[in-house]
Chain A
Amino acid sequence: MKILIIEDEYQLLKTIEEFLLSEKYIVEKATDYYSAVEKVMIYDYDCILLDISLPGGSGLKILDEMKKEGKTGNIIIISAKNSLEDKISGLDSGADDYLTKPFHVLELHARIKAVLRRKQMDGKQTVALGDLSVDFVQRQVLVNNRLLKLNRKEFDMLSFFIINKNRLITKEALAEHVWGDDMDLADSFDFVYSQVKNLRKKLKSAGSEIIFENVYGTGYILRV
């Protein structure tokens, strides 16, 4: 999978690159408008991470250029602008998703996976992991080929674990992925803990052997 990062902030670029490389993606970089347009026009990418404010021109203009040329990429806008207006114009111009800075790298990962999945043409959307089989389109989970009923938030939790398997998932990243930005509450940590506990219980009673390892005081790891 080839990913292009268009980002003028070098430190952020490096960090995202490092993360994506560790996830075995092939990474290319562009740090300004012109080199970004050049790369986008010449090569095809499975996913493009696009910063809006770039030296030389707006990221939104790159989207327009691509549209003109009939180029489609799986584009995720990464912007410090959290303006809802920006979000709308970005998505109107053909972006697939919009992520506001600052973000959790695991969230970025989940978004990239989701975008890639959506654009997969073969329709196979199922990920198998141990005794679990997760269908992201139908939003269904099979444990040992038997359907396990999960509510929306439980499914979101499980999918976040699966996408970020073998990684340390902080409670904050998990809470934000599942419940959004609104969860800045004092008791949200205990709350997340109890929700994960419930999910564990459900999986266990369905006969799954999968384990979310509790890393005390920080978060969880789904080890495979």
Chain B
Amino acid sequence: MKLINHLILRISIVFTAVMLFWSAICFFLQMKEIHDGNDEGLTNLKQEFIAKANSSPKFAETLEMHNPLNIIIEEIAYEEAAGIVENFTTGKIYFATEEEKEEVRMLTTAFRCEQNGKYYRLQFFTSTVESNDLLENILCLLLGLWITLSLTIFVAGKIIIAGANRPFYNLLDELKKFRLDNSRMIDFTQTDVREYAQLNESVREVLEENINTFTGQKIFIENISHELQTPLSIVIAKLELLIEKYRDNRDYAREIAGVLNILNRMKRLNSNLLLLSKIKNRQFPEVSSVNLRNTLKLALDNFEDLVNYKEITVEESGEASPSMQMNEDLAYIMFSNLIKNAVAHNRKGGEIVIRYASDSIEIANSGNAGAVDVFERYRNVPADETSSGLGLSIVKSITELYGIELDYRYDKYHVFTLHLK
């Protein structure tokens, strides 16, 4: 759930509860106020009626005839009258004119007429607000208010919270895009909100430290492999002179050749490592429009003898001749390593199938099944003692550099696909 919705949902729940509580209070206060008003009116009416009845003998005689529409007068016995306590009730009474029962407020009281000494029960009533109607009204009003307020909160919340959080969301977006090997600091949004400014500052510090460490390590690797070249040169050259000296001593010569073999492996490993770190350190800035089909052909030609030796058939299909902006040497190195891989892991009499499309190039080989994690650095199949195992890592770093998507799948063939932009 998005932070903003999370906040608004919670605010809405609290808000609804408060509104309901407030609606209830409002309803009861309103009803009480209305009843108070009614009751006062009824009391006045009662007092006036009683005063009139007590003072005018005529009025008393014809008391029951005075029975107006909103007073019910009934003569009762003293005992009954003594039991009546003046009270207000809300009840329903049938009105002929309305042809329905209406809600009324009623004052019931007992009274002894001083003129004739008789006891009467008096019921004064007045029609009052229908409590259901009022409730409905109030609820309608409150609902309207609630919807309006909710919408306001939602919209204003979106605008205000989203606005206030913009530095935060921008930071999130930037962090998502951040790549350590890119060595590029992210863009921060200026903000007056102190927390966000602090957040930005902290993130900047952490990233800066990481970038520095990472760059330092990359350069360190490059320097180290660079420095290794000279001692390696010396040892190889010295051993090559030594093997010359002992060439007629078969045992010595073989031992020295064995050491040279290992040193040459080390040499290749080191130069591949150097190449890899140079690619990662973006030291191939020159780009041109490279025809990938031609470049692949060139790399393939270089392996022609080995391909023939292993009796591998190469099959090419597709008319497309895709090209893209990249460094020409890296394009060659990329294909060279892919072809090398396709040849090295192929069986004698196997196949290499190359498919060209306008936006992809596929290189498949009929190698043995079971390669996993092919791009893992230093991965090496056991039979392959002379390979540096860095070839596919180099391919991967070149494709990453130019945004080419490289994927691998096994489906009878080992298939490497380059998805061009």
Contact = CB atoms under 8 A, between A and B. Distances in A.
A144 interface: no
Interface string B51-75: 0000000000000000000000000
Contacts of A182: 302-303, 336, 340
Interface residues of B, number: 51
Interface in A188-224: 188, 191, 194-195, 215-219, 221
A181 B238 CA distance: 20
Interface stretch (B90-98, B137-145, B176-184, B246-254): B246-254
Contacts of A167: 244
A167 B233 CA distance: 19
Contact of A104 (B240, B247, B278, B385): B240
B158 interface: no
B343 interface: yes
A153 B386 CA distance: 22
Given A11-B234, A182-B340, A185-B306, A83 B278 contact: yes
Contacts of A186: 344, 383-387
B219 interface: no
A199 to B, nearest CB: 11
A195 B227 CA distance: 35
B387 A185 contact: yes
Given A12-B234, A15-B241, A84-B284, A184 B386 contact: yes
Is the interface on chain A under 10, 10 to 19, 20 to 34, or 35 or more residues? 35 or more
B241 A18 contact: yes
B22 to A, nearest CB: 76
B375 to A, nearest CB: 18
B230 interface: yes
Contacts of B232: 101-102
Given A186-B383, A216-B254, A85 B305 contact: no
A187 B381 CA distance: 13
A218 B233 contact: no
Contact of A170 (B241, B257, B274): B257
Nearest to A180: B302
B218 interface: no
B253 A194 contact: no
A98 to B, nearest CB: 14
Given A102-B235, A172-B264, A184-B388, 7 more contacts: A12-B230, A19-B241, A100-B271, A102-B233, A182-B302, A186-B383, A195-B305
Which 7 pairs show the lowest CB-CB distances between chains A and B? A102-B233, A80-B229, A218-B257, A101-B233, A168-B247, A15-B237, A102-B232
Interface of A: 9, 11-12, 15-16, 18-19, 80-85, 100-106, 153, 167-168, 170, 172-173, 179-188, 191, 194-195, 215-219, 221
30 contacts: A11-B234, A12-B233, A15-B237, A80-B226, A82-B229, A101-B229, A102-B263, A103-B233, A103-B236, A105-B237, A106-B240, A167-B244, A168-B247, A170-B243, A181-B268, A182-B302, A182-B303, A182-B340, A184-B340, A184-B386, A185-B340, A185-B343, A185-B384, A186-B344, A188-B386, A191-B306, A191-B310, A217-B254, A217-B257, A221-B247
